A and B are shown apart, each in its own frame.
Chain A
Amino acid sequence: MSALEPARRRSIIRDGLAVGVATGAYGLSFGAIAVTSGLDVWQACALSLLAFTGASQFALVGVVGAGGAPLSGMVAGLLLGTRNTLYGLRLSTLLGLRGARRTAAAHLVIDESTAMSVTRESREAARMGFLATGLSVFVLWNLATFVGALAGDALGDPKAWGFDSAVGGAFLALLWPRLKDRRNQLCAVLAVALALVLVPLVPAGVPVLAAGGVALGLGLVGRDDDPTEVPHQHDLPEGGLG
């Protein structure tokens, strides 16, 4: 296979950097929300460094911040992380990585790197898009988490700053681009209803996990194909780090 032309290479790298800069904003809010939810700065940074998948991280701190057991938060995070498995499936044939390179590349499998890779014209371009986006998001997401966590720590009473309300806004912003589809809309409404009914009845954190059952139920009764969509490039700014 031929190597990429320098101009093409530069343009793919530039796209990756732009996506990385955009996700820095998510990282700031994640860091601030994590510490106001009861994590310390190092726990917030460890999550961004080691879990490195935004929606799962937000879910963990959201459940913990609402008073749920950390274990429930972890399970919610893992359920959201299943999305990356499907991205990996799409990427495995496209990138064709083996051995140590695959083991390292796995850490970078997220919404953004997938979106910036599956649209490319060749394996070289796909690899370049995946790597440039994955690495730039990784660096900026982690820097931003650290800065956001320090800022959140310094601000004091989270409620006075409305941080508890910011968490709801963050989840809604992550959900928003997925609500174009009719089945997803139904799923969201049922999940909200179930969670609200359960809030007074079960320990914090459990309503969110129970809502996962709505996905299971709707998936089982669904008949048509509707294959999992990989997020498109133009969906990303409002989409959310996977």
Chain B
Amino acid sequence: MIWGAVLGCAVGCYLLKLAGLSVPPRVLERPLVRRIADLIPVALLAALVAVQVFATSGGNGGQHLAVDARLAGLAAAVVALLLRAPFIVVVVLAAVVAALIRLA
């Protein structure tokens, strides 16, 4: 199942890149298409942050919301980003803060 998703994503992502280089620009270069394509990463990444920080797997395969050490990790990431820290610092800090809170 995971292999299928990995390979499907790989083929699809390549074709999306190739389409941009191959399709005549006027087909896709419309304000509406550009606007939506610009907003998609924002919406998806924001939702991924929310789900990653607040969603917890329940016993029956479902999910529920929970506040735990991950929220502190996210707060640390925000501070790091405000201080213009590089990507790796942001990620490591989010991990370390959550890990330390779980130890305490």
- A interacts with B: yes
Residues of A within 8 Å of B, CB-based: how many? Answer: 112
Mask of A141-167 contacts with B, CB within 8 angstroms, 1/0 = 000000000000000000111111111
Any chain B CB within 8 A of the CB of A199?
Answer: yes
Residue of B43, B62, B64, B74 ringed by the most chain A CB atoms within 10 A: B43
Chain A interface residues (CB < 8 Å from chain B): 22, 25-26, 28-29, 38-39, 43, 46-47, 50-53, 55-60, 62-64, 66-67, 69-71, 73-74, 76-93, 95, 97, 102-103, 105-107, 109, 159-176, 178-179, 183-184, 187-192, 194-196, 199-200, 203-204, 207-208, 210-216, 218-220, 222, 225-229, 237-238, 240
Other A-B contacts than A71-B1, A88-B18, A219-B39, 19 sampled, CB-CB below 8 A, are A28-B88, A51-B9, A66-B55, A67-B57, A71-B5, A80-B45, A86-B38, A87-B17, A88-B17, A165-B73, A169-B94, A170-B90, A172-B74, A183-B39, A188-B43, A190-B43, A192-B50, A204-B55, A208-B44
A-B CB proximity, top 9 nearest: A88-B20, A169-B94, A165-B73, A211-B47, A165-B98, A219-B36, A50-B10, A70-B5, A162-B99
Chain B interface residues (CB < 8 Å from chain A): 1-14, 16-23, 25, 28-29, 31-32, 34-55, 57, 61-65, 69-70, 72-74, 76-78, 80-81, 84, 86-88, 90-100, 102
